[in-house]
């Protein structure tokens, strides 16, 4: 036997505050951690010696081929670049089981014998770049729906079982 349960959401937006946190330069300008920053196409106003440039000609020259905003700033600025589609389809539970035929179970003095395996939080289909489109903030408060900021992703688990009826 096989059983599965799904849940889904369509059309919700998520503000990915992690994207802002790990792509913005500030005191620690080398801490960019997400892979989208590795291609070297981010805008900068930091010179190689670590000072900030405000010269428009120099900024234009430094950022000719950039495609991503990432200026030096002390406070994060809200931008629609961090708003993403949070639609998803999640396979919550998948259970696969096998029940021995009665004739075999009766030979070992059982009425019924079933083996099974269940997996939880199996897979999530989404275009969201964060860990989990069912987001939360690190404080786990219901006052910030649709904001993803330092939340721990859901864990996956697998359970193996045996049902015996004597």
8 A C-beta contact, residue 136 and residue 113: no
Please indicate, yes or no, whether residues 93 and 139 belong to a single structural domain of this protein: yes
Same domain, 44 and 118: no
7-38 per-position pLDDT tens digit: 999 999 999 888 877 776 665 555 555 566 55
When pLDDT is cut at 50, 70 and 90, the band that residue 150 belongs to is: confident
DSSP states along 88-146: EEEEEEEEEEEE--HHHHHHTT-SEEEEEEEEEEEEEEE--SSS-SS--BTT--TTSTT
Same domain? For 50 and 130 the reply is: no
The per-residue DSSP string of 61-84 comes to: HHTTT--B---B-SS----GGGEE
Question: Is the whole-model pTM more than 0.85?
Answer: no
Phi, psi of 19 (to 5 degrees): -60, -40
Instruction: Clarify whether residues 116 and 56 are in a common domain.
Output: no
Residues 31 and 91 reside in one and the same domain: no
Residue with tokens 């990432």: 70
pLDDT digits (tens, 9 = 90+) for 82-121: 899 999 999 999 999 999 999 888 888 889 999 999 999 9
Q: Are residues 85 and 112 in the same domain?
A: yes
Over residues 59-67, mean pLDDT: 85
The total of structural domains in the chain comes to 2
Would you state the pLDDT for residue 116?
98
Measured distance CA(160)–CA(95) in Å, rounded:
10
CB proximity list for 61: less than 8 A, separation 6 or greater: none
């Amino acid at each position: 036997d096989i059983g599965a349960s799904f849940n889904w959401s369509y059309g919700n937006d998520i503000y990915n505050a992690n994207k802002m946190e790990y792509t913005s330069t500030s005191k620690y300008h080398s801490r960019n951690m997400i892979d989208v920053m590795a291609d070297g196409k981010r805008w900068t106003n930091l010179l190689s010696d670590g000072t900030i440039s405000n010269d428009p000609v120099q900024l234009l020259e430094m950022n000719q081929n950039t495609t991503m905003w990432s200026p030096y700033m002390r406070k994060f600025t809200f931008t629609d670049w961090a708003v993403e589609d949070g639609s998803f389809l999640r396979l919550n539970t998948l259970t696969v089981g096998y029940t021995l035929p009665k004739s075999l179970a009766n030979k070992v003095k059982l009425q019924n014998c079933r083996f099974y395996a269940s997996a939880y939080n199996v897979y999530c289909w989404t275009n969201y770049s964060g860990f989990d489109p069912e987001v939360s903030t690190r404080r786990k408060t219901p006052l910030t729906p649709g904001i993803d900021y330092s939340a721990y992703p859901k864990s996956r688990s697998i359970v193996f079982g045996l049902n015996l009826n004597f």
